[in-house]
Amino acid sequence: MTLTIEPLAPRRHRRSAFCCGQDSLDSYIRKQASQDLKKRVAMVFVLVDSPNPDVIAYYTLSSYTVHITELSESFAKHLPRYPLLPATLLGRLAVDSTHQGKHLGELILIDALKKALNATAQVASLAVIAEALDEKAANFYQKYGFQPFKQNPMKLYLSMKSVEALCQTFNI
Ligand SMILES: CC(C)(COP(=O)(O)OP(=O)(O)OC[C@H]1O[C@@H](n2cnc3c(N)ncnc32)[C@H](O)[C@@H]1OP(=O)(O)O)[C@@H](O)C(=O)NCCC(=O)NCCS
């Protein structure tokens, strides 16, 4: 058995039993994720223990824009004054309840950040934005250096420079 992170293959990966404790995230991977993938609204990546097709964890990545006024002054002051700036959205991230607390959330978060960083070689992005469903999830992201947006503490960002440093710390 080998843990692998793969793009969601709707016909192969089993999602019906996925349960992370947040109904909206369970329902998303079971019912909506394959549509989003097909329509290119989000790339969906799943963690599986191959060859077992059960989804253990997943996350989504999409292109995004942020308003410069949403960012902290200390970050914004180094940026050009364009009203909209390019970013990468880590829209959803979840680990099945039976597998939580085994550093798999960390594993997929760092993998998502590395993919976002690698993509900047082709398409610019100045930060990864994460949307937390509650304070607990926001705390998880903050542990890795994410900063809350000024007007909405459930939306957080990590500059691509910090993403790069974090990936180096994790040696990936
Ligand atoms: C939040 C979630 C992804 C964390 O995944 P996990 O696999 O249980 O967490 P990990 O085992 O990888 O934890 C890694 C580290 O983060 C810490 N951590 C985990 N959840 C945390 C939280 N809510 N707040 C602060 N720290 C947290 C762990 O203690 C661990 O720290 P350590 O390295 O010092 O031991 C998972 O609990 C989950 O799927 N929750 C429901 C869905 C959700 O809220 N998703 C968030 C985005 S919308």
Q: Which of the two residues, 1 and 45, has the higher pLDDT score?
A: 45
- The whole-number pLDDT of residue 72 equals 87
101 alpha carbon – ligand 1 mean position (Å): 7
| Per-residue pLDDT tens over the stretch 74-129 | 899 989 999 999 999 999 999 999 999 999 999 999 999 999 999 999 999 999 99
Ligand 1 atom nearest to 139, measured from its CA = 24
Query: Residue 166: pLDDT band by 50, 70, 90 thresholds?
Result: very high
Better pLDDT: 26 or 72: 26
Structure tokens at 66: 């942020």
The proportion of the chain whose per-residue pLDDT surpasses 70, expressed as a percent, equals: 99
**How far apart are alpha carbons 127 and 158 in whole angstroms?**
5
What is the distance in A from the centroid of ligand 1 to the CA of 143? 9
CA 52 / ligand 1 centre spacing (Å): 23
Pairing of strands 84-95, 127-131: parallel
- The protein residue whose alpha carbon is closest to atom 7 in ligand 1 is 105
- Nearest alpha carbon, ligand 1 atom 20: 140
Whether residue 150 has pLDDT greater than 90: no
Question: What is the model's pLDDT at position 105?
Answer: 98
Please give the distance, rounded to the nearest whole angstrom, from the Cα atom of residue 105 to the centre of ligand 1.
6
What's this model's pTM, rounded to 2 decimal places?
0.97
Query: Is the separation of the CB atoms in 45 and 6 below 8 Å?
Result: yes
Q: Domains for the chain: give ranges and CATH numbers.
A: 2-169 (3.40.630.30)
| Token digits of residue 116 | 């976002």
The ligand 1 site (C-beta within 6 Å) comprises: 20-22, 25, 92-95, 100-106, 132-133, 136-137, 139-140, 143
Confidence of residue 49 (pLDDT cuts 50, 70, 90): very high
Distance 19 CA to ligand 1 centre (A): 15
Return the pLDDT at 163: 98
Mean pLDDT of all residues belonging to the chain? 96
Q: Atom 40 of ligand 1 has which residue's CA nearest to it?
A: 94
Rounded to the nearest whole angstrom, what is the distance from the C-alpha of residue 122 to the centroid of ligand 1? Answer: 30
161: tokens are 């420079």
Residue nearest to atom 13 of ligand 1 (CA): 103
DSSP characters over the chain: -EEEEEE--TTTSB-TT---S-HHHHHIIIIIHHHHHHTTS-EEEEEEEET--B--EEEEEEEEEEEGGGS-HHHHTTS---SEEEEEEEEEEEE-GGGTTSSHHHHHHHHHHHHHHHHTTTS--SEEEEE-SSHHHHHHHHHTT-EE-SS-TTEEEEEHHHHHHHHHHTT-
